[in-house]
Amino acid sequence: MWYQPSMKLLLIFVVNGEEVSLEIPPEQPLHAAVQQALAKSKNTGRPAEEWELRYETGQIIADISKPVSEYGFKPGTHLFLTLRVGAGGDATRSDR
């Protein structure tokens, strides 16, 4: 692991098109960072379980329970949070 305990990792969450920059301790679970991004962007009307997290490539990050350090994110990585289809999100998908 290349992180030092006191080091934080800059992640940029894009929540419904709005960028939210967060400095995350590497030992923090990714789901906690998702909660922070939703709160900071004032998207608290829907439970976090109704949101989907994706890499810049569009690939879904299904398991967000692990510590941030286990995902291999580089500083400044963009992660995208959108409402799941059927949870009030847009049914259109960019991978079609």
**What is the per-residue pLDDT for 43?**
93
**What is the per-residue pLDDT for 92?**
42
Quick check: is 3 in a domain?
Answer: no
Whether this model's pTM surpasses 0.85: no
Quick check: is 60 in a domain?
Answer: yes
Answer whether 25's CB lies under 8 Å from 73's CB: no
Quick check: is 77 in a domain?
Answer: yes
Q: Dig out the tokens for 78 from the structure.
A: 């963009």
With cut-offs at 50, 70 and 90, classify the pLDDT of residue 4.
low
Quick check: is 95 in a domain?
Answer: no
CATH value at residue 62: 3.10.20.90
Alpha carbon distance 64, 52 (integer Å): 10
> Closest Cα to residue 69, out of 29, 23, 12?
29
> Closest Cα to residue 67, out of 36, 30, 32?
30
**What is the per-residue pLDDT for 87?**
52
Q: Which residues form the domain of 69? A: 12-83
- DSSP β-ladder status, 51-54 and 77-83: antiparallel
Residue 95 has pLDDT above 50, yes or no: no
User: What percent of the chain clears pLDDT 70, i.e. is strictly above it?
Assistant: 82
When pLDDT is averaged across residues 51-61 and rounded to a whole number, the result is: 95
